Amino acid sequence: MSADRPTHDPLLVEIGTLELPARLLSDLAVNFAAKLEAKLAPEGWIAGAGNPVEAFYTPRRLAVRIAGVAPLRPGQIRIQRGPTLEQAYDASGKPRSAALGFAKSQGVELDELTVESGRLVYRFTEPAVRLDDRLPTLVEEALRQVPADREMRWAAGIPPFVRPIRSVLLLHGASLVRGRVYGLETGRFAQGHPVHHPEPVPIRLPDEYESALRRAHVLINRPGDATLREEIWAKIEHSAASFRPEWHPLRSAATLKEVSDLVEWPVAIAGTFPHKFLELPQSVIQAVLCGQQRVFPLVDTSGDLAPGFVAVVNLESTDLDRVRAGEERVILPRLSDALFFFEQDRRQPFAERARELDSIIFEKRLGHLGLRRERLTLWMERWAGAFGLDPSLAREAASLVLCDLTTTLVREFPELAGEAGAHYAHLHGFQAPVVQALREAYLPKTAEDSLPESALGALLSLALRVDLLAGYFRVGEKPTGQRDPFALRRAAQGILSILDPRAHPGTAYAPSGSPPLALEALFETSLTGYPASAKVSATPASLAAELYEFMLDRLRARHLDLGGEIEAFEAVASLRPPTLEDFRARLDALEALQARPELKTLVQMMKRVGNLLKKSSREDDPTDAPAVQSVWEPDEARLASSLENLESRVRADTLAGRYREALEALLALEAPLAGFFGSVLVLAEDPVLRTRRLILLRRVESLLRTVADLARLKGD
């Protein structure tokens, strides 16, 4: 453009805070960057598209850097268009209310308006705005819009934020942008490491942000970037290797993420714990070390846990041995507690614990755990056969699966449910398949988690999830929007994963049962067996239907997450296939043929078929064929005979589940249908002809709905 266009310099915004919650940090950084960009971009501050907006964070700061931001938004001429002259004035030239109203809405007198192309317009010059005059306001607005589950108020007259804000850095190129944000004077200083660099860190240029902070002993993190995590992991490995060369740290992605969001200057330090604690099941030790203490267990060369760990601290201590001793001292009572609980629990015969379940409330409206156990047992007995399992084994697994909830170990470490039960069941002599099923009962815990390997484990995991969903739906507790307090969506995802054969390469059992289980039927057994007093929100049949729809919603989300197209999904979903296997088979067939040009043409013509059928009135559409035979046009006859050929074949293929063959066959309809539309007038004057042709089209429509509703596909 013109030469007076101002240079665009990078902008750096940092808010220094007290320690932000680790679990929220990366989301906060992403949201702050997004909100700030959403403030700056529409006002034209950001130069061009594709200008990188970078988000940064540490536990004590959130920052955003934008590569090209204008220092000035030039003054510009603005034109507001008002009513036409006819609307504005009456025949005598007197202004009507439209003219007066427009002037008022612009805050000007009538004579300040001008006429352009037959309209009243208000033309004015909007003054230039300097970034310095605008940015502080926009930063504060963006911060106020960053979503947080709970906001903190810390001082009167200051808006709330996740944690107190202590400093605000606004740097545009080399210049400080002066102003006030959250009651604080802006500056060009960032917070350094609290011990290694207590003085504020001057930032000269936005691009020197990371390097200046690194010199001040602060390592900057970026959302979704593993660099810092890997840097920390390397330190952990190094620390372990120099501590005991034969020990290696056990990587836990969750702990590594958490640790990297808790420190600004990570230093790894290895320590030990007494050998006697290795009597504990490895999962218990891991729960204590990773879950409670956020340190990394060490394993020996054979992969067994060693009596050691690596902790990550936030400074280069002048007294490393003292820090090590401190970490060791904290771990000791936790492991002692766990060992005490474990010893106590193992003394009681595991199966006896079932009696205690009646006195533990599962959920107020859903009754106690004893009732849940009975429902699970019934469910397992009913479906064992479909998975090729012995019903008595299924019954045993179901009757034991809740027992570990009465152990002190699980009360202390809820995440060990399942794992703990497996240990105690093993100690008390239960058979290996049951023990394995108990261990697998809560898998998958997350979307990335592994699935049960045994059929009994898979069935048990399904039972727990189906019962959970059915129970909460029964009392009307369905997830809405962001609200899903009972994690029902995750439970549904787990069911889909377990029933998805593609998630189980090489498993010995049919993951969807054999024959595949109908989704609605899965829930039926779980909709009864509750306390009589509980209010029920609907009949079992309608609840099962609601649950089917809910599963379909999850399946849709999963399909889209994997990059699938919504149209193909809806084409299949509209037929409401009863089993997931059937759903998947139809979708696979459709996706395999989707690129075929005949299919696209067919889909385009389907829209036309649909429109014609919609246009036709009811009397045009008797169910019986017309009695009078009049002359068939060639293309009409050709379509009729193609239909004749295809209908039985497509239906036979569909019934046999040969969806791909059925679809391939359907493609043959494209040519006759095109010919038909090319030469035959569907809405003919003669009602007999019209009806006959509409019936042909109805048959086409119905045929193209056998595998999936092809009309829902994209036609372009």
Binding region for other proteins (CB under 8 A): 18-23, 59, 150, 152-156, 163-164, 166, 194-195, 262, 293, 295, 311, 313-315, 317-319, 322-323, 325-327, 329-333, 359-361, 364
CB of 152 to other proteins, least distance (A): 4
User: 59 or 457, CB closer to other proteins?
Assistant: 59
Smallest distance from the beta carbon of 113 to other proteins, in angstroms?
49
Least distance between other proteins and beta carbon 107 (Å): 38
Q: Cα–Cα distance between 107 and 253 in angstroms, integer?
A: 60
Instruction: Name the minimum Å distance from CB 323 to other proteins.
Output: 5
CA distances from 89 to 79, 114, 482 (A): 20, 14, 53
**DSSP one-letter string for 238-265:** HHHHHH-TT-EEPP-HHHHHHHHTT-SS
CB 182 within 8 A of CB 165: yes
- The residue among 287, 255, 271, 367 whose CA lies nearest residue 320 is 271
d(CA 460, CA 380): 7
Closer of 324 and 559 to other proteins (Cβ): 324
As measured in angstroms, the least distance from the Cβ of 293 to other proteins is 7
| Shortest Cβ 371–other proteins spacing (Å) | 15
Q: Write out the two tokens for 35.
A: 């909100």
Phi/psi at 521 (5° precision): -60, -35
CB of 437 to other proteins, least distance (A): 28
Residue number with CB closer to other proteins (330 or 503): 330
Using CA atoms, how far apart are residues 688 and 629, in angstroms rounded to an integer? 9
Phi, psi (degrees; rounded to nearest 5) at 248? -130, 145
Could you give the CA distance from residue 296 to residue 290 in angstroms, rounded to a whole number?
A: 6
As a whole number of angstroms, the distance between CA 609 and CA 13 comes to 58
Q: How far is the CB of 321 from other proteins (least distance, A)?
A: 10
Q: How far is the CB of 280 from other proteins (least distance, A)?
A: 18
Name which of 461, 465, 464, 463 is nearest 451 in CA terms: 461
DSSP codes, 664-707: HHHHTTHHHHHHHHHH--SS-SSHHHHHHHHHHHHHHHHHTTSS
For other proteins, the closer of residues 311 and 456 by Cβ is 311
For residue 154, the minimal CB distance to other proteins (Å) is 5
* Smallest distance from other proteins to CB 149, Å: 9
| Other Cβ atoms within 10 Å of 26 Cβ, number | 19
Residue 134: which region, alpha, beta or left (left: phi > 0; alpha: psi -120 to 50)? alpha
Q: Residue 114 or residue 154: which is nearer to other proteins going by CB?
A: 154
Which of 406, 461 has the CB closer to other proteins?
A: 406
To other proteins, the closest distance from the beta carbon of 33 in angstroms equals 22
The distance between the two most distant Cα atoms of the chain, rounded to a whole number of Å, is 104
Closer residue to other proteins (CB): 17 or 642: 17
Cα dihedral sign for 591, 596, 600, 602?
negative
Nearest to 236 by CA among 271, 262, 275: 271
Q: Which lies closer to other proteins via its Cβ, residue 293 or residue 594?
A: 293
State in angstroms the smallest separation of the CB of 148 from other proteins.
Answer: 10
Q: Which is nearer to other proteins, 57 or 583 (CB)?
A: 57
- Closer residue to other proteins, CB minimum distance, 65 or 365: 365
Q: Can you tell me whether residue 370 is helix, strand or coil?
A: helix
Nearest C-alpha neighbor of 64 from the set 52, 54, 74 = 54
Decide whether 148 or 612 has the Cβ nearer to other proteins.
Answer: 148
Amino acid in position 64 = V
Q: In the bound complex, what is the minimum distance in angstroms from residue 340's beta carbon to other proteins?
A: 9
If the CB atoms of residues 51 and 317 are measured against other proteins, the closer one turns out to be 317
Give the three-class secondary structure for 321.
helix
Residue with Cβ nearer other proteins (293 or 507): 293
Evaluate whether 218 touches 265 at the Cβ level (below 8 Å).
yes
3-state DSSP call for residue 269? strand
- Nearest distance in Å: CB 360, other proteins: 7
Residue 299 has, within 13 A of its CA and on its CB side, a CA count of 11
Alpha carbon separation from 311 to 191, 242, 270 (Å, rounded)? 25, 14, 6
199 or 319: whose CB is closer to other proteins? 319
Nearer Cβ to other proteins, position 43 or 151?
A: 151
**Beta strands 119-126 and 61-69, pairing class:** unpaired
**Is the Cβ–Cβ distance between 265 and 196 less than 8 Å?**
yes
Give the DSSP H or E segment for 610: helix 597-615
Q: Contact 445/283 with Cβ under 8 angstroms? A: no
Output DSSP code: residue 46.
Answer: B
